[in-house]
Structure 1
């Protein structure tokens, strides 16, 4: 493999990290907000609003149902309006972030469902406000599940970024498609796949470490 190709792969690794980290931060932050909203607005919860809950749930279900490649193409006009182009690394942040939000929301809702309801009732009996219950009971008690949700999301975004790269987003997916698949270079394909496997394994190990720490505090 030539030195130019090695440099190209290293640049692609940096682009992939940029895509995954930025879209992950946006998607996880907004996904947590949406997931908390899904949980607290259900019937018999601390901020019960069944109609709002059904609306949010529908949005989440629709968002999770659309394949990423179709979502990316469908969002092209919005992406162009927002960042000036629908092609390129920065442009790919828009569909990646939007794809992550409903994904995270359902995982967060599931993590909050694991919090014992008795803890919430105890907080309510002591006069805690809904905001205090969310920030001091629900989120701290669901810490391990939230870390797991973030880990799963980042791993999914690594795969999504590769798909985005194949249609102009840059990163390892672009290198694998343009210089591996299109030019029949199996070595480039192998190297890019190995790098992505290492990235996934690293994220999973880091996530497992933080989950273990959170459950032994």
Structure 2
């Protein structure tokens, strides 16, 4: 199953790769060169297919837990001053996605979208300390009845050239549902209340829509 954001790219890549294979077969007499081009085309198609894969995830929907919005590796867990929306201190949990990860963004909590804004910007590597403030990004705030406002931020990386965000203000959303997509390498930051109990560790790998990154008892 592939994400809808990849349909045009997958179709275009398939046509180009098929053309390379056929043209190489008829117009390149050197066997090893012909084979190299055909294998390279096949590898490119496989890479594009795996990048846009969209595996079905069965989310255990609950207000008590905050789930990972994306697949990847936890690269930041720290108390920071969030200055765009909250303008106070929050716990930031950042998940870095390599090009081989699933790049679907999922809602970390259920609730109502209170804020959704796109910011044009740079394309620093996603793990750069300033990427959260200077890169192309979208900021989304979901109001959850248990936690209050939860902010997540999609951040473009050095390879990511387009962020897709489905969240619209005043739209009800469901935990684990499709919230968007980031193309070709990126990161997502989640900003949580200070009394939230973090359930992940640095460098831990998580699955979006499944793994719990934080919780609160009351």
TM range (shorter): under 0.3
Q: TM-score, normalised by structure 2?
A: 0.26
Q: Which has the higher helix share?
A: 1
Q: TM-score, normalised by structure 1?
A: 0.26
